[in-house]
Amino acid sequence: MGNVYRLKQLGDFEGKYVKLAAGIAVGGGASAMTMQNDKGVVISLSGVGQGVDFRLAVSGMDVTLVK
């Protein structure tokens, strides 16, 4: 599951996202990570389940909308 914050217009969703908060593992198989792009859009991901683990490469992650 995830939430998106500070999205003013759809075009702002695209871009390179880098880690804003370190990925964490929480008891019971939960994991969470927060990342932000250069336009200030923040994506917060969380999941629950055995083996759930979010990791982001040091170089970040590129997001592109397909039209």
CA atoms within 13 A on the CB side of 23: 14
Q: Which residues pair with 65 in a beta bridge?
A: none
Per-residue model confidence (pLDDT) at position 54: 60
Q: Of 32, 35, 57, 36, give the one whose Cα is nearest residue 45.
A: 32
Statement: residue 22 has pLDDT above 60? no
Q: What is the pLDDT of residue 11?
A: 92
Token digits for 58? 């040091």
Q: How far apart (Å, rounded) are the C-alpha atoms in residues 39 and 36?
A: 8
Question: Binning pLDDT at 50, 70 and 90, where does residue 1 land?
Answer: confident
> Does pLDDT of 34 surpass 70?
yes
- In this structure, what is the dihedral angle of CA atoms 16, 18, 24, 30, given to the nearest 10 degrees? -10
